[in-house]
Amino acid sequence: MSLLEFARGPALTVSLLVFFIGTAWRLWAVLRRPRKTDHSAPRRSDTVTGGLRAIWQRMLPRSAYERIGMTGTINAYAYHIGIAVIVFAFAPHIGFIERLTGLSWAALPDGVTYVATAFAIVGLVFALATRLTDDVQRLLSNFDDYFTWLVTMLPIVTGMALIEQSYVPATPMVAPATPNPTLLAVHLLSLELMLIWFPFGKLAHAALVFVSRYRTGVEFTRKGAAL
């Protein structure tokens, strides 16, 4: 079995299994716990809307709190959007998802993905630099933070190597039709590493964020408090 066959076959299957089962288990560990009953007289009853509003609002910068660093917020936008574009709007990736699920959609022009990649890389590098230099973030950080950074960065870097290797000046910025099998295998394996790590580390915030924001939104709305 070649490296590529391994990456496309058993490695992919195992990583997807770990990703789905692990994430479901992590969410279940939270959701299976008892919910507290609240006997206090609610000020407002539109708590479900409040929960959904909190999910949306906490995505926006909090202008009433002037000290909250805008740099960090803007940077977070940069790499979150950058990564989302790479994963969901780049033609080869949509092809990959289609082969797995049968679902597909229109891709953005490759040029857009390259710009998004630049944002993601610069954003992630800046985030790491902040984590290493800011006293607060340094204190809070542990293995998870640094390893998560690494497994997020690796697929981007290996993906770039894959494109770079087939770069043809006459037709700039074209995704390789026949990518180098070793590089493609390494790229796939790096993605699989990220999928395997996802449930265990902080990447799972992509799922947990909906739970914690929603719950806070519900509780605060019940009290009639601002979100």
Residues that bind other proteins (CB under 8 A): 25-26, 28-41, 43, 54-55, 58-59, 62, 64-69, 72-73, 76, 131, 134-143, 145, 200, 202, 204-205, 208-209, 211-217, 219-220, 223-226
CA atoms within 13 Å, Cβ hemisphere of 117: 21
CB-nearer residue toward other proteins: 3 or 211 = 211
- Distance set, CA 195 to CA 11, 15, 20, 113, 198 (Å): 11, 6, 9, 21, 5
Residue 221 host element (H or E)? helix 205-223
CB 112 within 8 A of CB 102: no
- Minimum CB–partner distance for residue 122 and other proteins (Å): 18
CB-nearer residue toward other proteins: 78 or 162 = 78
CB-nearer residue toward other proteins: 110 or 145 = 145
- Minimum CB–partner distance for residue 27 and other proteins (Å): 8
- Minimum CB–partner distance for residue 59 and other proteins (Å): 8
CB-nearer residue toward other proteins: 39 or 103 = 39
- Minimum CB–partner distance for residue 16 and other proteins (Å): 19
CA atoms of 198 and 178, how far apart (whole Å): 29
CB-nearer residue toward other proteins: 99 or 205 = 205
Strand intervals (E) in 40-85: none
